[in-house]
Amino acid sequence: MNTQSNFVVRAFRWFDPRGRSLSGWGFMIHRLTALGLTFYLFLHLIVLGQLAQGPDAYDNFLKSTESPLYKIGELSVVAAVFLHGLNGVRIVMTSFGIAVPRQREIFIGAMVIGLVAIVIFGIRMFIG
């Protein structure tokens, strides 16, 4: 069928934002946050590896995490966890045949809750 394009092009075709519905965006957000969180996991393991270089190295690293850039990074991780987790609940429900005709409304609800949570976290992280 759509075998004309090569493998690499095809591998990215799921991210085609043209003409998407709300739940289509839900799928893209879910996959992008999944990729982001996987990337973060690797980063996290690398950082933990600093522990092996002694307490000084780790303390120095911890100091560098106080920069605003780091905080933005941390907030992105929190945001990804909320969006992925809440949308994940909707996907699990629909996968068991529960509330499928209402999946769009559940998605809107999940995203609203997620955004409120992100804003609250953001305020606490940046303003205190």
Partner 1 sequence: MVEKWNITVKFYRQKQGEKPHDQEIKMDVNPDENVIDLVERAWALHDRTLVFAHACHHSTCGACGMRVNEREKLACITPVRSVVANGGTLKVAPLRNFPVISDLVVDMGELYRRMDLVGHQPVDSDREEAIQPEFRPAGPAEPNEDFMRLSDCIECGLCMSACPVFSSTPDYLGPAVLAGAHQAGLEKNPLLFKLIDSATGVWRCHSAFECTAVCPSNVDPGWRIMELRRKVIGDRVKTLFNPRKPAEVGK
Contact between residue 86 and residue 111 where contact means Cβ atoms under 8 Å apart: yes
**Overall residue count recorded for the chain in this entry:** 128
Q: Does 12 bind partner 1 (CB under 8 A)?
A: yes
Window 76 to 105, contacts with partner 1 (CB under 8 A): 90-91, 94-97, 100-101, 103-104
Q: Which is nearer to partner 1, 25 or 39 (CB)?
A: 25
Asked whether the beta carbons of 42 and 89 are under 8 A apart, the reply is no
- Kindly state whether residue 64 participates in binding partner 1, applying the rule CB under 8 A: no
Q: Which residues lie closer than 8 Å to 14 by C-beta, 6 or more apart?
A: 27, 28, 31
Minimum distance from residue 7 beta carbon to partner 1 (Å): 10
- Largest Cα–Cα distance in the chain? 58
Between 27 and 58, CB nearer to partner 1 = 27
Is 50 an interacting residue with respect to partner 1 (CB under 8 A)? no
Using the minimum distance from each CB to partner 1, give the nearer residue, 3 or 64: 3
Rounded to the nearest 10 degrees, the angle between the axes of helix 68-95 and helix 22-48 is 130
Closer residue to partner 1 in complex, CB, 28/78: 28
